[in-house]
């Protein structure tokens, strides 16, 4: 191999990569064949941060004008007043935390993407009301007894957890809240959840998947028994022939299931707001917002 020219080595690597795709398990099974994106990988986190900050799309974070509209609506639903303490779960680069802090709310954000947390710290340092940031996996966070006045967990990050993990995270959130505090949880609408299996391909260079020319091969499978979907992304580097594969699973929940999970975790008085109650968001119809009160 060492004596072969680079193009020959790349061709062999491409051939091996395509054989791997050919031999993949079918159909893919949620979480077994695609758990979650590597948010905590330093290089991937840097590329994801660029997507969060890109105002031309809402694939990672919503545009700033939508974020500000959401913050106003969330303040009303959570009955937040200046000086109240808010827990922002999977806070990302701090875009929501910064807006809440600018309105006098004391925010603590939790996320395990290193680039996102670093950006959030910069926003905090320049904020008139700095906020607290914790670089941690929400599945392992321990903020019990902190007596927060409210918590938010938005943009579908809840549904990428395995159901047992999701139930445990809800219990951890409840432990971090004072009695009668409220949790706002944004979940994909079961009726709008993509329950079709599909596949696609395209070529590109740069962006989330890498700074090189690549062939992106993707597939999505719906598992009706689990009520969950799994996506697999195969990124073939057209220069080196190397391939990286990623997976992401997503659990669908009905309103009844969400109410049961929230009740079991120590929440009651669950208010349901389909499509953000008419808020002007590009993708509002895809979502249901649950606002529940801690017992």
User: Are residue 14 and residue 126 in the same domain, yes or no?
Assistant: no
Q: What is the DSSP letter of 257?
A: H
pLDDT in tens, 249-260: 999 999 999 999
Query: ω into residue 240 within 30 of 0, thus cis?
Result: no
Contact 116, 93 (CB under 8 A): yes
User: Are residue 241 and residue 171 in the same domain, yes or no?
Assistant: no
Question: Over 90: is that where the pLDDT of 192 sits?
Answer: yes
User: Are residue 178 and residue 87 in the same domain, yes or no?
Assistant: yes
pLDDT in tens, 199-247: 999 999 999 999 999 999 999 999 999 999 999 999 999 999 999 999 9
User: Are residue 222 and residue 169 in the same domain, yes or no?
Assistant: no
Segment 115-126 mean pLDDT: 97
Domain assignment present for 37: no
Question: Over 80: is that where the pLDDT of 1 sits?
Answer: no
Domain count, the chain: 2
Question: Over 80: is that where the pLDDT of 2 sits?
Answer: no
Measured distance CA(73)–CA(273) in Å, rounded: 11
* Full residue range of the structural domain in which residue 10 is found: 6-30+194-251
User: Are residue 68 and residue 134 in the same domain, yes or no?
Assistant: yes
Question: Over 80: is that where the pLDDT of 9 sits?
Answer: yes
Domain assignment present for 1: no
Domain assignment present for 35: no
Q: What is the CATH number of the domain that holds 244?
A: 3.30.1300
In the chain, % of residues over pLDDT 90: 94
Domain assignment present for 36: no
More confident residue, 92 or 35: 92
Identify the pLDDT of residue 5: 81
Mean pLDDT computed over every residue of the chain: 95
In the chain, % of residues over pLDDT 70: 99
| Alpha-helix residue ranges (DSSP H) falling in the chain | 6-22, 42-53, 64-78, 95-102, 114-125, 163-176, 255-264
Q: What is the CATH number of the domain that holds 66?
A: 3.40.50.150
User: Are residue 113 and residue 173 in the same domain, yes or no?
Assistant: yes
User: Are residue 157 and residue 242 in the same domain, yes or no?
Assistant: no
Contact 150, 178 (CB under 8 A): no
> At 27, is the pLDDT very low, low, confident or very high (cuts 50, 70, 90)?
very high
């Amino acid at each position: 191999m060492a004596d072969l020219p680079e193009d020959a080595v790349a061709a062999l690597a491409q051939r091996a990569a395509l054989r791997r795709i050919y031999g993949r398990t079918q159909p893919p099974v949620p979480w077994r064949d695609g758990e979650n994106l590597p948010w905590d990988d330093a290089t991937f986190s840097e590329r994801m941060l660029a997507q969060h900050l890109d105002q031309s799309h809402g694939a990672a974070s919503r545009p700033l004008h939508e974020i500000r509209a959401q913050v106003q609506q969330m303040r009303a639903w959570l009955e937040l007043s200046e000086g109240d303490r808010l827990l922002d779960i999977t806070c990302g680069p701090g875009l929501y935390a910064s807006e809440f802090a600018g309105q006098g709310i004391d925010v603590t954000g939790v996320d395990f993407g290193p680039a996102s947390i670093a950006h959030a710290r910069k926003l905090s340092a320049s904020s008139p009301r700095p906020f607290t940031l914790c670089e941690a996996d929400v599945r392992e966070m321990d903020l019990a007894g902190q007596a927060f006045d409210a918590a938010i967990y938005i943009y579908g990050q809840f549904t990428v957890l395995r159901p047992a993990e999701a139930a445990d995270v809800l219990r951890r959130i409840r432990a971090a809240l004072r009695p009668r505090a409220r949790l706002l949880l944004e979940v994909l609408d079961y009726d709008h959840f993509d329950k079709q299996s599909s596949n696609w391909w395209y070529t590109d260079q740069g962006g989330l998947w890498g700074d090189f020319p690549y062939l992106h091969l993707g597939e999505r499978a719906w598992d009706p028994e689990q009520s969950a979907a799994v996506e697999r992304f195969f990124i073939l580097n057209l220069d080196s022939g190397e391939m990286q594969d990623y997976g992401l699973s997503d659990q669908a929940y009905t309103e009844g299931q969400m109410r049961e999970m929230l009740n079991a975790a120590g929440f009651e008085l669950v208010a349901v707001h389909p499509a953000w109650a008419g808020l002007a968001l590009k993708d509002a119809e895809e979502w249901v917002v649950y606002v529940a009160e801690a017992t």
